Chain A
């Protein structure tokens, strides 16, 4: 049984078929990519998996149990975390607080304990803060813990969004265009970071990305979407020479130059 299993998923907006008969599986430790031209339905797939949209047909299963119809926060608590295409940090909060939000579901002293200020609550606060700092350190953001998240440079914001997602201890991490807007140097660092996350946190990673160089060099498996339908699935080398894929990208040859 796969960790994440998407079966025959279809999404329709009004008359528009955004996704049609989509199948996909992801296991712990996997690193899969979802590519396709703009408007192909990639983000829609993410939105359905995370409960933002409801599918018209089909099923999404996490460890064999359907998660369709559950609220986004429930799905997160079941172990799926994500980042957003247009960064959605809590811009007015500090970098540390952004990560701390991820700890909100951990069992704890409760409202009353918090308000009275029990020793247990105080201990817990420190545990959360040190865990959050450790996470920030992994992402090289610990020096900026007290800065406002909205004031970070773009690349740092993208990384903070990933750190924040990991704070919820997911088993599956969905990255929506993590390299968008990054310079070549940042992209190289991002690739290393993704590998690190895969190793250290043991999560299954599924990412949407337009940078072919990045996708080809890190993904183990690639799914190509076009007009809501899967046109190809396979290893990077197979995808690169798949005529359908080349056609979908308007005949542009897929080079690895990015």
Chain B
């Protein structure tokens, strides 16, 4: 009852937002030298795990905006990721022949990858105007499969190698800890501030009751498409990061199962809980690594854990709550009081 169940007791933060912004910028700035240090000092195996966790966090948080927060069940997130990954992979590989690597170049390419993802999101957001629930899930699943089929068939576009069924290999690897950290930060802060603002309540309202939301003046079309576009943008960025981290792209890695993996992160973390998504993305990327000792059985164990988790705690690790919350600040009005706990 009461607070414990309520969706988001976090209100306007205690600190002015410029202080928080400054803090975040400093944090990202520190990540730059740290990243150099990691490249040379850290066990590559461990660094790989950290980078993959970071990418998984971006994917899970961005999908949470679509699935958990706006309630539009999408099974096509890997499709958006593929759009971004291939945009970045194809350009980076082509560019590596003609020019050298540079920071502005890479920033531009990741942004472009996000935009391409967002365009796909716009395209897929439109069916959501007519479909809901299971039907939407199926349509987005179909979209993901179409992307997969197309990727296996295209060998090249305008002289740039795409790879077709064999995949795209030897992509220059730009991604390091800094890029993943910076994009992860941007993704989390962007979505967090958006959905926890007064206007952002509209996203939750659509999840709770679309008809009532419309009756309250919420432009449900706009918010649903916005959720898809923003979610797909960050999925595209995550794809770009993944492509330039591993240096290899295979169309098969962006199929339905990949989307499912991301959905599972959102659901296990608790649909609607951003910190839950972060936590689940980390755990679910780390866990299969720990099961390497029983290598061949690890997917069996993973799937069993998933089933057991759903049976025991179907609302996910955190439910709809965040990992922490501050009490709502007293509203600056003499008459408005805050309920005692």
Q: Does B94 contact A (CB under 8 A)?
A: no
Q: Which of B17, B18, B189, B205 counts the most chain A CB atoms within 10 A?
A: B205
A96 (CB) vs chain B CBs: closest residue: B328
Query: Is chain B's binding surface mostly helix, strand, loop or mixed?
Result: loop
Beta-carbon contact of A76 and B212 below 8 Å = no
Select A104's contact among B218, B331, B338, beta carbons within 8 Å.
Answer: B218
What is the distance, in angstroms, from B235's C-beta to the closest C-beta of chain A? 18
Beta-carbon contact of B205 and A101 below 8 Å = yes
What is the distance, in angstroms, from A50's C-beta to the closest C-beta of chain B? 6
Q: Does B312 contact A (CB under 8 A)?
A: no
Beta-carbon contact of A146 and B2 below 8 Å = yes
Given contacts A94-B7, A100-B201, contact A125 B1 (CB under 8 A): no
* Contact mask for chain B residues 3-16; partner A; CB cutoff 8 A; 1 contact, 0 none: 10111110110001
A151 (CB) vs chain B CBs: closest residue: B1
Q: Does A121 contact B (CB under 8 A)?
A: yes
Query: How distant is the Cα of A102 from the Cα of B214 in the complex, in angstroms?
Result: 10
Q: Does B220 contact A (CB under 8 A)?
A: yes
Please give, as numbers and ranges, the residues of chain B lying within 8 Å of A130 by CB-CB distance: 331-333, 336
Select A168's contact among B2, B201, B208, B216, beta carbons within 8 Å.
Answer: B216
Please give, as numbers and ranges, the residues of chain A lying within 8 Å of B214 by CB-CB distance: 71-73, 76
Q: Which of A71, A94, A102 counts the most chain B CB atoms within 10 A?
A: A94
Beta-carbon contact of A52 and B211 below 8 Å = yes
* Contact mask for chain A residues 141-156; partner B; CB cutoff 8 A; 1 contact, 0 none: 0111111100100000
Give the B interface residue count (CB, 8 A).
Answer: 51
Beta-carbon contact of B193 and A117 below 8 Å = yes
The stretch of A58-66, A82-90, A183-191, A224-232 in contact with B is A82-90
What is the distance, in angstroms, from A181's C-beta to the closest C-beta of chain B? 18
Chain A contact residues, CB within 8 Å of chain B: 50, 52, 71-73, 76-77, 81-82, 84, 88-94, 96-97, 100-105, 108, 111, 114-119, 121-122, 124-126, 128-130, 133-134, 137, 142-148, 151, 164-165, 167-168
Chain B contact residues, CB within 8 Å of chain A: 1-3, 5-9, 11-12, 16-18, 20-21, 189-190, 193-194, 197-202, 204-205, 207-209, 211-220, 226, 320, 328, 331-333, 335-339
For this complex, 13 residue pairs linking A to B, each with C-beta atoms less than 8 Å apart, are A52-B211, A72-B211, A73-B220, A93-B6, A101-B201, A111-B194, A114-B194, A119-B16, A119-B18, A121-B197, A142-B339, A148-B1, A167-B216
